[in-house]
Amino acid sequence: MELGAGREDTQVRPYQGQVFEDLRAQCLRWGDLYRDDIFPASLWSLGRAKGSPIQLSGIQWKRPKEICSNPLFISENATRTDIVQGALGDCWLLSCLGCLTLKKKLIHKVLSIPQSFTKNYAGIFHFQFWWQGSWTDVVVDDRLPVKNDHLVFLHSGERNEFWSALLEKAYAKLHGSYEALHGGITTDAMVDLTSGVCTTISMEKPPDNLHKTMKQALRQAALVTVHIQVKGNTAQEAALPNGLLVGHSYSVTGIDKFRLTNGKIVHLVRLRNPWGKVEWNGPWSDGSKDWETVSRADKDRMALVEIEDGEFWMEFQDLEQHFDDVSICYLSPVIVRDKKMKRDVTWTTTTHEGSWIPGVNAGGCTNHKETYWTNPQFMVHLEAGNDSTCFLTVALMQKRHIRALQSESLYIGFSIYRTIDSIKQLTRAMLQWNAPTKSSGTYMKQRQVNGNFELPPGDYIIIPTTFDPDKAASFILRVFTANFNQTREIDNESHIDGKEVIKERATTRYTQCSPAKTVDPLYTLDGRPAPTPLDDDEEELMKMFRKLAREDNKITEAEISAILNKKLRKLSRSETMSVGTCGDFIGLYDVNNSKAITFPQLKNLWKIVRKLLDVFDEADRDNSGALASYELRPTLEKLGIQLSNELYKNVVLMYKDSNNEVDFESFVCCVLHIKTMFRILQSVPKHSGNVVLGADKFLHLLLRAKPLSCLHSFELADE
């Protein structure tokens, strides 16, 4: 199967809010040349980390018009000879650029053609990269690092051509500095330049059809590079006796074959060194006697140029012997011809952005059975059309903002499960007893991992994860299919079940609790009978209340705390309810701001606390006295509370502690807070003619009303 990408997102966002047209118009209006304050002409933009590869002494910043008399953005067309590596070890980027110059439409998009040093010139240029999940327009001024009037970093083979140098500057701006580009991963650059999806093939066990795969990839406008890894004590970019460079990436610019006079068929591949020099000196290299057996017509067809330009041919078997891996980036969109499909296919895609949040949904890999199920889950429905097999590609990318922090990147991967229920989330029990149908394989410390799969039609759930739990990161999940593509994140609709365990009537906005009454108005407001006589536990509670109550037959937050804590101690519990928390509890009852509650309200509150204590104990399986925050969701569901992913995330972040735990006091506050939110929501007229917020957004608004007493400030009128 060949990999393709889906429909291209044409929307472009300005990086750091810098809009090229506005900035250029402003400079032209003022008659000034642009100076970029975000990426200034300074040592900061070069990079000043310890052990920096950049020799800073003698570097100046000059505009192209100060370097030569007739600067050009592009001389005729952007070609691979315009890419000559400078003082940075960024061959991982430049090898991709060399491939990109062969794709006219895409290179024009990246270079934002047309641009020039004549018409509307204001010292400002811009470039487009697919950055963090969307096409991004990056603005730079044209001040470039020079020494002795020669560009220090990437430059063209022609002294007056500057598109490649300016593009490298824009890419350095995205990563924080030029120094941040020193050393990187080829597939990262491929994705940033194309929005495509990459696959890497190891030469340790190359597939039998590698030659055919690479040739077909080039025919489909894919980017192809090869790389030699550093081994042992060999220095980075050290030259081997055969002319190849260790730790270096090369562009694959052509694949061809021909028949020799002796009848032998030779398969050759053309490579280019981003240095623009230093070439392979083995069989079929420039000047090799092997070419004497090739006809002039074949030489012309293969564009053989026997000069030191960094480009050379080599036999395919030598490529497999001397290089360690091949990276292929398929562009978007791509039409694929696959024998198994027996037809042409346009790949379509869906894109989802998400995040792993410690204590919420950063569950780690399958090794962590207690938390794995909490990871985000995405359902994909596959339809085979006229074929019996569905072709699926999944690409998972973690967002990284500065390459210098690559050491902080996470090991990421994903698993795919077959499911017969396309609605519900896979639970802990389901995942403990079922192995994934497919996966991304070994977890990789890379920005992007992906996999190509052939699956029967049906519903599948994709679970993207980090290797270790409680690792924070944002991610982008892209799903490519050859037929119908329906992918969505599995989520809940926020609601409270009518059969909820705790059915307290803790709030009312329509009555005042009077000390003269002997019945609980909360139980009589809607016509229900007065409560039954007190049991022993309630009698004890009544004695405590009478001992501390004020003249108005109410108690304040300090007395509530004392009573609840004494009751908990009698149950041999170490949990406590602080004075501040009890002040919040008062807010659930106290509609007249008296800052105190009656005995019936205290009795109701203790009833809630007692029931929630049983629920808490059942959930606290390790008897630690606290719930791991990931245990909060199933515990709330047992209470009949369903929360959407976003609302649940915010609830956890509000009530968990620094150890990602929820103690009993916080648990009680959490439950009462949520239930009060729903009570307010349910009190809003359902058929209002002036609805401003949806239910979930309204619940988010109520969630921010902490302490709980703030909930009384919400009007129960139209939204």
Q: Report the SS3 class of residue 292.
A: helix
Contact 100, 194 (CB under 8 A): yes
Which residues have CB under 8 Å from 572's CB, separation 6+?
A: none
Instruction: Reduce the secondary structure of 533-548 to three states and give it as a string.
Output: CCCHHHHHHHHHHHHH
Contact 342, 353 (CB under 8 A): no
Main-chain phi, psi angles of 156, to 5 degrees: -90, 160
Which one-letter amino acid corresponds to residue 46? L
Helix (H) or strand (E) holding 356: strand 348-356
Contact 211, 201 (CB under 8 A): no
Radius of gyration, alpha carbons of the chain: 33
How far is the C-alpha of 82 from the C-alpha of 621, rounded, in Å?
65
Active-site residues, by number, are: 91, 248, 273
First-to-final CA distance of the chain: 53
Q: What is the dihedral of CA 399, 402, 408, 410, to 10 degrees?
A: 20
Residue 625 tokens, joined:
């006295």
Helix (H) or strand (E) holding 669: helix 664-683
**How crowded is residue 477: how many other Cβ atoms within 10 Å of its Cβ?**
21
Contact 470, 658 (CB under 8 A): no
Which residues have CB under 8 Å from 530's CB, separation 6+?
A: 519, 520, 523, 524
How far is the C-alpha of 526 from the C-alpha of 702, rounded, in Å?
25
Contact 197, 327 (CB under 8 A): no
Contact 268, 284 (CB under 8 A): yes
Q: Name the H helices within 57-162.
A: 64-67, 91-100, 104-110
Half-sphere exposure of residue 585: CA atoms within 13 angstroms, side-chain side: 32
Q: Report the SS3 class of residue 430.
A: helix
Matching residue, tokens 């398929």: 330
How far is the C-alpha of 178 from the C-alpha of 172, rounded, in Å?
5
Residue 249's closest CA among 217, 224, 285?
Answer: 224
